[in-house]
Structures are given as structure tokens and as C-alpha cells.
Amino acid sequence: MAIIDELTGVFRQVFGDDELVVTRATTAADVEGWDSLTHVSLMLSIEKRFAIRFKSAQVASLENVGELADLVEALANK
């Protein structure tokens, strides 16, 4: 499964929206409720799903889903 598809599943679970679609270009401004607190829930859920651990500086600087996908891929392949 492509990483964006797997991330979409996590996004839908965290934001409680089964219709939510994310692409590499999606940003916080595009998803209702994606604020600093839901970002934590999202990051912790992604950590669990991919068995990885983010550093704080990494999650703070993410600007869009594409950057998130690249980071997840890099950490998962370590």
C-alpha cells in the first residue's frame, strides 16, 4: 500500500472523517481541526501505525503531508 494511502487511514481515524482525502500537497489549513493538539494525536497515531518515533523538531517543522510521508518513510526504513 502506498504510504499516502496508509496515512489517509490514520488521518480519517484521528479527525473522525471517513471521507477525508489527503495528498502530498495537503496542509493544516486544508483540514478542519488540524491544530497544534490534533497534530500531537496525529503524530502519536502515526508513530504507532508505523512503529517509529519522531523527534520534536521533526514534527514541528512539517509543512504538508508530502513532507510527513517522506519523514515516515525515512524513519521506517532505518
Partner 1 sequence: MIRPLAARYPGAAAMTEIVAELLAYVRAKHPRSLAGVEEARRLDPARFDGYADLLVGWAMRALGDRAIARTVDAFALFSSDVNMAQGRYEASGSYEHKSYRGCYEAVYADKATMDDYLWGVYLTNFMWVHHLDISAFFETRFVAKLPARAALIELAPGHGGWGLVAMHRRPDARLDGFDISPSSIEISRALAAAAGLADRARYELRDALDLTSHPAGVADACICNFLVEHLEDPDRLFQVIEHVLAPGGKAFVSGALTAAQVDHIYEFRRESELVLLAERHGMRVLETLSVQPQRTLPRAQFLPRSMSLIVQKRTREHW
| Stretch of 1-9, 18-26, 50-58, 70-78 lying at the interface with partner 1 (CB under 8 A) | 50-58
Establish if 51 lies at the interface with partner 1 (CB under 8 A).
Answer: no
Min CB(1)–partner 1 separation in Å: 26
| Stretch of 3-11, 25-33, 65-73 lying at the interface with partner 1 (CB under 8 A) | 25-33
C-alpha–C-alpha distance, residues 29 and 74, integer Å: 25
Min CB(61)–partner 1 separation in Å: 8
